[in-house]
Every structure is written in structure tokens, then in C-alpha cells.
Chains A and B, each alone.
Chain A
């Protein structure tokens, strides 16, 4: 499709400048949480509130995935009684939430981060250790490749 062809050229004009890693926040134990501290490299790129919102939403998703309560207790007992064979057939709650997270990240990338030349990598691809944010620099080529819907105008800030 035209978008793809255009993006091939974009790839050449947008090069990876830097990567920022948002580390895990262990203050509440081993549950999955990421630090909401705003990294300095992103200061010129994105508003602090947008970034914090993203990280807080992700933290909430992970908390939901790992929540222990009445329902997880029942699921655990049921799984145990089937000698955990049920894990082979059913998608676990965690996996369901991971899918939601993947969709959320993609949506954030499309709407908020890509227009600012940033890209969030899903933490699951980094072993849930970090949220990797890639910072792209335009190589300064001002020749706008043939226009397509995916190429927005300048978002000079």
C-alpha cells in the first residue's frame, strides 16, 4: 500500500537518535510497576503530563493483571483441581490484559508518540524490565516524500 512505500523512504529520513529506558519501580514489591519519573531526554519532545499518563495507565493495567482477590483465588483452585492442565487450553487473565496493553501502546504510539518522533516498545518484549522509548531524529532532509495520509505536517515545537 502507498503508506508502506512511503514509510520505506521515511525510514531513511528518520534515524534512531537515542533510546530512553524507563526502569521498574520496586517500591511496592515485585509487582510490575514502572517509574513515572520524567526522563530528561524527553523534555523537549513531549509534555510531561502525557508521558506520565501513559506510564500510569500501563501501571494500572499491570496491577489489574496481577491482582489477587476472590476471582483469582477461585481460578487458582480450579486450575489446581485440573492439575493445571487448564492452562494449556485457556488463555490466562494475564495474557488477556497483555493483549489490551499491546493495543493501548499501539494506540498511544499512533496518536501521541509517533507525531513527536518517539516510539514506545511494549515492555513484554524487553522481559518486563523496561519501557523502551526510541527517539527518532529527522535527518534534516526537508524534501517531503510524496505526501500520504501518514505523513503529517511539521510538528515543530
Chain B
């Protein structure tokens, strides 16, 4: 016990960073005063995200095919309201546009919420934390940096779970957290990176995502049903389907889009309903973490063993807060510290702040790997530098099993109507084939909902 006198310290005046101090306060405390404007935390965010509205809105670096998703939904619904609703209101009931309108609004809102919400990004460890962890690992005092994957085992509900060390974020990932290589962030309860939505799906936006796909299933099925009814009514009296299509060309487009989408979207909704009921993530399901592949009674330690409680805990749990505090101000001394500590950080922040019009260039590489970017994060899961070696083994069996599932759920349904004439249809067929070769690419194994969702919205023509 030292004999120093410990004087009472006022917590508010000490240099540990406090949330959102007003700018002048920070300057008072720091003797090396920077004349520049205090920066917000989003401006030095190390992940590959883009921020708008001064940090209020965030999207992943690559928007993926979000504009396509939005466009298809808007166009299909627009055609529905223009071509089908007038006829159906006259001949059936005026509830139809009301229901359709309600569903459309619901779908668009939940889609935007899925895309623009922080999925549950974990901020990277501070240098002090990282040093503390390093100290605990390197107990021998050996200063050499050892690259092999570091793991820590914890016991969760009597189940042994291995926590992996994330080299990018310099911390042991909490359980169910995974590092998304596309966004360069660790995301809590990582489900997958969805290119259709242009964002990761994780703890905070999984409920939005689930509501989106379920309401989209309803919308697609509803439009499909209405269009069929419309064409059937028009073709009555011996006039024939061709006549009906000629009278209402928009309906043909809708029919095609809906027919191909509805199976995949329904399949996806069903799959995610299963995941919700068993409290699994797509990530865990694909990797078979809890399926008992290893033999002994490996069960999901997070499941509450009750479907209702599982659903509740996934969809109705209190909304967790965003951990990255985008709009907080950087304390002046910390901003100096971060600028000095990582040139990479500054460079990345320039990229984040400066580039806003990268949709075209970002979309193309995303499209080429569209079916599989959901699984791309898996490659970075263990070690950024050892991904090919680690993942070449599991991927063939994963791709065959997923390919099989893909075939069962969607291709079986869509192969019959392959003989049609429209050009858009042919492009969709070509698109159907594009994902398949990439199933075999070792780097990116597929998932059942990668397949269906990839061909769900059909055309893969790059967004130039």
C-alpha cells in the first residue's frame, strides 16, 4: 500500500473520453489546442461504411443491389396500381389498392430500415484494451507477434464455445459475432451480409430484415394473385389470354417478375422463420455449428428450447443501442491520438467522407459475386490472411449441400417455364446460371437463401 495521498478526483474533468462534450469544453481541457472544428466520431470510423446526414444515416460501403431491389419493388407496384387496380376496383372491390398500398409502404419502410440501420457493429478495441489482451495472451513475455488464430473457450449454458480473436478489431469476438469482410466490421449476432439490402444483417436490424421479407412475400403473392385474377377476368368470354395481355401489357411484366420472385421470397421467409424459431443465425446454420456434426450432444446454447420464447427473444427483444455513437464528438486529445495512431484511420475516414457516388463502381464487383457475398464474411472469420487455406476444405461440401438445397427449393420450381420469349426472361435465365459456377468457388460457399434471393429479382445486368 503506497503512502501517496489520493486526492479526490472529479470524474467529469478527467481526460477519459465522455460522450458528446460540447466542443469548447474539450478545447479547454487540452493544452495543445487545435484550431480546427471538432470532428464527429463517424468521420474517423475505421470500417468500410458510408455516412450521410452528418452521421445519422449509414450504409455499407458497397450498396450491392439495393437500388435494384428498390427499383423492382417500386416498378412492380407501380405497374400494379396503374394497370391492374382500375380494372379490379371496377370489377371486384376497392379494398385491393388499399391493401396493396399498405403492403407496399410497409415493404419500402422496412427495406430502408434494414439498409440504413447500424446492424450491431462493434467498435474496435481501444489501444489500451488491445494491449491488455495481448499481455494476457503473451504470458511468456515474448514480444514477437504470433499470427496463428487465437481462441478462447467459454462455457455458455454448459456448451463449450470457442471465441476467436479478430485481428482487425483487436479483440476477442463475443459469441455469435462475426467479422464482415465487405464492411470491415465485427457485427454482433451476425446473420449474413445481404447484397439485396446493401448492408449486413445483424442483431439490431434482423427484425427489420425479417419483417421486410415476410411483408415482401405477402406483397408479391398479393400482386401475383391480383394479376392472375385480372387476366383471368379479362380473358373471360372466350377472348383468350393473349387478348388480355395485349390489353394490359404491364400485367405481363408483373406476372413474370412476381412468378419468379414469389417462390424464392417465400422460401427465404420460410427459412428465416425456421431460424427465428430455433434462435439460429444463417451463419451458424450454414456452418453447422450446432447441428451435432461433431458427434456429441452439441446443441444450440442460445435457444430457449421453446419456439415462442425464441421468436420473442429474436423479434421482440428490446432494441439494443448502437454501440458506435456516430454523431458523438471526438474529444480533442483523442482525435489527435487517433490521427497519430493510425494513418490508415485517417485515410479511411477520407474515403468515408469524400466518396458518395460510388454506386456504379461498387455495384459491379458486388454483382459478380452477388450470390455469394453472404458467405464472403466467412472467409474472414478466422484470419484475414489465411482465408483461402482455411475455407477450401469446408466449402466443397457446403456448396454441394447448399447447391442441393438450392436446387430443391427453387430451381425445381422454375425450370419448367424456361421456354418463354421475352428478352428480360432470357436475361434472367442467364442470371440463373451465373450464380451456379460461383457455388464452386472455394472462397465463397453458398447458402440456401443466397441462391433463391440471387435469382429472386431476376436480372443481373450490371448497374451502369
Contact = CB atoms under 8 A, between A and B. Distances in A.
B179 interface: no
Contacts of B7: 10, 13-14, 117, 138, 144, 151-152
A154 B6 contact: yes
A89 to B, nearest CB: 13
Contacts of B313: 68
A156 B2 CA distance: 8
A30 B176 contact: yes
B60 interface: no
Interface size on A, as a range, is: 35 or more
B317 A80 contact: no
Contacts of A138: 4-7
Chain A CB count within 10 A is highest, among B3, B13, B163, for B13
B429 to A, nearest CB: 35
Interface in B110-152: 110, 113, 122-123, 125-126, 128-129, 132
B315 interface: yes
B318 A140 contact: no
B316 A126 contact: no
A140 B7 CA distance: 11
A124 B176 CA distance: 19
B110 A83 contact: yes
Contact of A3 (B10, B125, B163, B207): B10
A98 B122 contact: no
Nearest to B215: A83
Contact of A21 (B129, B208, B302, B323): B129
A28 to B, nearest CB: 7
B155 A129 contact: no
A94 B319 contact: yes
Contacts of B157: 27-29
A21, A24, A110 interface centre (most CB from chain B within 10 Å): A21
Given A75-B316, A76-B312, A84-B208, A126 B126 contact: yes
Contacts of A24: 174
A66 B122 contact: no
A27 B154 contact: yes
B16 A11 contact: no
Interface in A118-157: 119, 121-122, 124-130, 132, 134, 136-138, 140, 142, 144, 150-157
Interface in A65-91: 65-68, 72-73, 75-77, 79-80, 83-85, 87
A150 B8 contact: yes
Nearest to A128: B323
A125 B197 CA distance: 29
A110 B312 contact: no
Contacts of B232: none
Nearest to B113: A84
Contact of B189 (A30, A68, A109, A134): A30
Contact of A85 (B109, B123, B128): B109
A56 interface: no
B343 interface: no
A142 B106 contact: no
B396 interface: no
A124 B20 CA distance: 13
A109 B10 CA distance: 8
Contacts of A16: 15
Interface size class of B (residues with CB under 8 A): 35 or more
B265 interface: no
Nearest to B132: A21
A134 B122 CA distance: 22
Given A27-B155, A84-B207, A125-B19, A142 B5 contact: yes
A84 B110 contact: yes
B9 A80 contact: no
Contacts of A10: 7, 9-10, 13
Given A98-B321, A114-B8, A150-B10, A19 B128 contact: yes
B316 A134 contact: no
A126 B18 CA distance: 11
A106 interface: yes
Contact of A110 (B1, B6, B11, B15): B11
Contacts of B110: 83-84
A72 B312 CA distance: 8
Contacts of B6: 115-117, 136, 138, 154-156
Contact of B9 (A66, A106, A117): A117
A68 B156 contact: no
Interface string A93-104: 111001000000
Q: Which 3 A-B pairs have the closest CB atoms?
A: A76-B316, A117-B6, A154-B5
Given A72-B317, A136-B9, 19 more contacts: A10-B7, A11-B15, A26-B174, A27-B157, A30-B188, A68-B316, A68-B318, A72-B316, A73-B316, A76-B312, A83-B110, A84-B207, A94-B320, A115-B8, A117-B9, A127-B323, A129-B174, A138-B4, A155-B8
Interface of B: 1-19, 105-106, 109-110, 113, 122-123, 125-126, 128-129, 132, 154-157, 161, 163, 171, 174-176, 188-189, 207-208, 211, 301-302, 309, 312-313, 315-321, 323-325
